[in-house]
Chains A and B, each alone.
Chain A
């Protein structure tokens, strides 16, 4: 079923729809790149970060991951670029930059 769900674009026909459009596998969102409508992305400045975890707590899409060293990283596969992390960061360690910027 998970394989079926991974069909995209022209491969996915009406015959691939499950009864009632039900998604029969849990956690299938992990397979879908949902960060592709982002127009801005967050940049975390490790120099300013004090590992408080507010960004991780407030991210509405669980797109911020805790790294082994205690710092945080944005998972751009899911991040929609909403900017909440930048807004809540007490140390102003997160800056939103335009997606086209390197």
Chain B
């Protein structure tokens, strides 16, 4: 029997790693991710999990240790947040380019300065182009589900890419919610043993990490890019298989009450659940609004997004990150790019808010929709809009 217990998202992710029977964990504690390595270290110490727990001196070392573990075919897990992910940055590229299917949980956190340990998507957006499969979670159940799913998809011989599972620092990482934990035999059915086809072994020597001179580097990158984009089929198949066993079906792009809606709000992560309540409220008032929860961030689900928004006139994209001097939030810029070459395309309004742990309430999302509508009618000289900033915001122009 599966059981329903109260867990914070951090502990839910740790439970998923335990049930996945990971072989190696190398992690460095950083707020708000600390509870994940802490709980896993406890499980290893108590004998609940038969794994090597490697305490390291930094996040750079944490992911470097994971590379070595993955190279010999170990199921490998790590977790970090904010500044920790920044310190790892160099190795983040190495993991994906060497095709090591490491699973890494990110408890999304703002970036300094000013120093902030609180929730924000700036850390995730800074690793946007690193070639990791990336998904966002709305709640603690999804933190468990996506972590388990990440091993299944990343380790698939058709994929062999590392996976980042993002959930919001504090808003999820430290908040207790009911989570359904499956039986071990269900997990084992979903997740076969990891069989890495290129595992280092002295009996059959091979070279990992050879250098690429100019006559080969470009070919290496295109091969990586084509394989990465192809992984989307397995990602979707993995969602389906997960649903067939555990009863919860996920999708790259998840519409909520979009039937007949001319105006759509697009959000990621835990704020999607808050925004859904705002959509309910506005729908009850008879407004034609719906929501898109963007789950799969990389590889970007272009086809699925276009399909989901094909009848909309407007999309309001909500970002928890600023792209300084750029077109607004990174997600809004992505959505615009995805739609620009379409013959008929909705207008995109970019909103930035919820930075550095600032709450976004249901009322705030209602304001976002109302203000978005107003901009469509009257226009605006600003490249993007803000919500919840004290003082009128002007001067965000090209």
Cβ contact of B206, chosen from A13, A14, A17, A22, cutoff 8 A: A22
Known: A14-B222, A19-B160, A19-B227. 8 other contacts (CB 8 A): A14-B218, A14-B223, A17-B219, A19-B198, A20-B198, A20-B208, A21-B98, A22-B207
Q: Does B212 contact A (CB under 8 A)?
A: yes
Within 8 A of A (CB), among B56-98: 97-98
Chain A residues in contact with chain B, CB under 8 A?
9, 12-17, 19-28
Q: With a CB–CB cut-off of 8 A, which chain A residues contact B99?
A: 19-20, 22
A10 nearest CB across to chain B (Å)? 10
Q: With a CB–CB cut-off of 8 A, which chain A residues contact B209?
A: 21
Question: B98–A20 contact, CB under 8 A?
Answer: yes
Query: Which of B99, B212, B215, B223: most chain A CB closer than 10 A?
Result: B223
Question: B223–A23 contact, CB under 8 A?
Answer: no
A36 nearest CB across to chain B (Å)? 12
Given contacts A25-B206, A26-B205, contact A20 B226 (CB under 8 A): no
Q: Does B220 contact A (CB under 8 A)?
A: yes
Could you tell me the distance between the alpha carbons of A24 and B218 in the complex, rounded to whole angstroms?
20
Could you tell me the distance between the alpha carbons of A74 and B210 in the complex, rounded to whole angstroms?
25
Within 8 A of A (CB), among B207-265: 207-210, 212, 215-216, 218-220, 222-223, 226-227
Given contacts A12-B219, A14-B222, A19-B99, contact A24 B227 (CB under 8 A): no
Could you tell me the distance between the alpha carbons of A17 and B224 in the complex, rounded to whole angstroms?
9
Q: Does B151 contact A (CB under 8 A)?
A: no
Closest 5 CB pairs of A and B: A20-B99, A26-B205, A23-B207, A17-B223, A14-B219
Q: With a CB–CB cut-off of 8 A, which chain B residues contact A14?
A: 218-220, 222-223, 226
Cβ contact of A13, chosen from B97, B205, B208, B219, cutoff 8 A: B219
Could you tell me the distance between the alpha carbons of A21 and B208 in the complex, rounded to whole angstroms?
7
Question: B206–A21 contact, CB under 8 A?
Answer: no
Could you tell me the distance between the alpha carbons of A20 and B227 in the complex, rounded to whole angstroms?
10
Q: Does B100 contact A (CB under 8 A)?
A: yes
